[in-house]
Amino acid sequence: MKKLTTKHFRNYKKPQGGVPLKMLTAYDYPTARLLNESAVDMILVGDSLGNVVLGYDTTIQVTIEEMLIFSKAVRRGAPDKFLVVDLPFGTYATKNIGIKNALRVFQETQCEAVKIEGGHKENCRLIETLTKSGVAVVGHIGLTPQSIHEQGGYYMHGQDNVSVKRLLQEAKDLQNAGAFCLVVECVNKELSKTITQALKIPTIGIGSGIETDGQVLVINDLLGLGDYLPPKFVKPIANLFQVKKDLIGKYLETLQ
């Protein structure tokens, strides 16, 4: 399977009833090996790493060094897939810091793109500079977990006129700044559809309905790898936590 590029993604709009862009997260080498052999279009090393792998309460604690270690492992495991890496909290708080850290992540992980949360003007200016320097960027609006305290918790976005107007503007600004696709997280489905129709670049939804051009999920939530309840919009396809627990229990019994 030929590796996809931004040329493929940038103009992808899902036709009515058509196939969405398929994105899943990965954090480790074995999962990356598996996804490398799958029909997934893009792999995201999300900073959800902090929640589902490192046991942090929020993504705010994730450091750039942690992102680098896990992203390099995924790159080694999935050389044939388009790889996106999240810039973690604080690493793009100003434009100059953002340029330095984005270039570091881009060079050291050999990913194809970095992802940045938030569509405000400062981020758009950063994205403009990065794309001019040759770094492909994925935008991310709606629920942006790095700003969870500033946003006031985990909830659906785009529920009132002010929020609708702001999100639509942010989506357009991110596209104009050069982002080649846009993650839309926990945005009400009517607004997700409006944003999707308003943009030339694809939207990739999570908890935002089915009208986006693509879908992304945290692979650990999808497979039931953790002993926690996944977000309400996820329908896990397995409970691998329990499966592994039972198998390990059975193995340990054989040692008695």
Q: Is 20 in the site for ligand KIV (CB under 6 A)?
A: no
- The least distance separating ligand KIV from the CB of residue 28, rounded to whole angstroms, comes to 14
Nearer to ligand KIV, 127 or 183 (CB): 183
Q: Which residue's CB atom is positioned nearest to ligand KIV? A: 46
Nearer to ligand KIV, 4 or 234 (CB): 234
Nearest-approach distance from CB 144 to ligand KIV, in angstroms: 8
User: 59 or 175, CB closer to ligand KIV?
Assistant: 59
Q: Which amino acid is at 140?
A: H
Q: Is 185 a catalytic residue?
A: yes
User: Which run of H or E residues covers position 43?
Assistant: strand 42-45
Tokens describing residue 247: 């198998």
Least separation, in Å, of the C-beta of 63 and ligand KIV? Answer: 14
25 forms part of the interface with ligand KIV (CB under 6 A):
yes
Provide CB contacts within 8 A for 35, sequence distance 6+.
24, 26, 43, 77, 78, 81, 219
Q: Which of residues 27-46 bind ligand KIV (CB under 6 A)?
A: 44, 46
Count of residues engaged in binding ligand KIV, rule: CB under 6 A: 11
Residues numbered 62-91 forming contacts with ligand KIV, rule: CB under 6 A: 86
Is there binding between residue 218 and ligand KIV (CB under 6 A)?
A: yes
Name the minimum Å distance from CB 145 to ligand KIV. Answer: 7
CB of 148 to ligand KIV, least distance (A): 12
For residues 174 to 213, the per-residue mask of contacts with ligand KIV, x marking binding by CB under 6 A and - elsewhere, is ---------x-x--------------------x-------
What tokens does 222 get? Answer: 């999808």
Q: Does 123 bind ligand KIV (CB under 6 A)?
A: no
Closest CA relative to residue 79, chosen from 32, 132, 18, 131: 32
Given 66, 112, 185, 211, the catalytic residue: 185
Distance CA 174, CA 38 (A): 30
Classify burial at 114, counting beta carbons within 10 Å of its beta carbon; exposed 0-12, middle 13-18, buried 19 or more.
buried
Rounded to whole angstroms, the Cα distance separating 127 from 174 reads 8
Cβ-count burial 26-46 (b if 16+ within 10 Å, e if not): bbebebbeebbeeebbbbbbb
161 phi and psi angles, rounded to 5 deg: -60, -40
Could you say which DSSP state residue 40 is in? -
Rounded CA-CA distance 45/30 in Å is 14
14/256 with CB nearer ligand KIV: 14
Q: Please give the positions annotated as active site.
A: 185
- What does the binding site for ligand KIV look like in residue numbers (CB under 6 A)? 25, 44, 46-48, 86, 183, 185, 206, 216, 218
